[in-house]
Amino acid sequence: MEHTLIKVSGVPSFRGHGNNVVRLQVQNLYDITIFENNLFMTSWRNQSIIRLDKYQSDDHETVANFSRPFAIHVYHRQRQPDVWHPCKEHNGLCDHICIPAWKRNVSVVQCLCQAGYRLSRGGQCL
């Protein structure tokens, strides 16, 4: 059985706080990512995704079970680059949902409607 020891060492702040070491033993670790105060790991042996608090090793949990999970990524608004796109201003002039897209290297919008509505030729949700 292959074991991987996860060890996270904190860097002390200017007041000397935060120099704690977090340890967790995971079998068959495949991938790891960090978001905010948590490490997220995939384990083939446990067939799970594990969340571990970066500051307290006793604060960990299995957040999902999958058969042989591979890579893991966190997609969150805070992790996206803050760039301009046409939906940022006035919702791209869409009634309901604005989807930014590219057409021939020019940013354009695609307007969609919420369930129960349809998009008219004029672009309104009816």
Query: For residue 51, is it within any domain?
Result: yes
Note whether 12 and 70 are same-domain residues: yes
- Confidence grade of residue 1 (pLDDT, cut at 50, 70, 90): very low
Which tops the pLDDT comparison, 108 or 4? 108
Task: Tell whether 60 is covered by a domain.
Answer: yes
Structural domain includes residue 121: no
CATH number of the domain residue 46 falls in: 2.40.10
Domain count, the chain: 2
The 10 Å Cβ neighbour count of residue 94 is: 20
29 and 58 share one domain: yes
Tens digits of per-residue pLDDT, 30-74?
A: 888 889 988 898 888 778 888 888 777 677 788 888 887 888 888
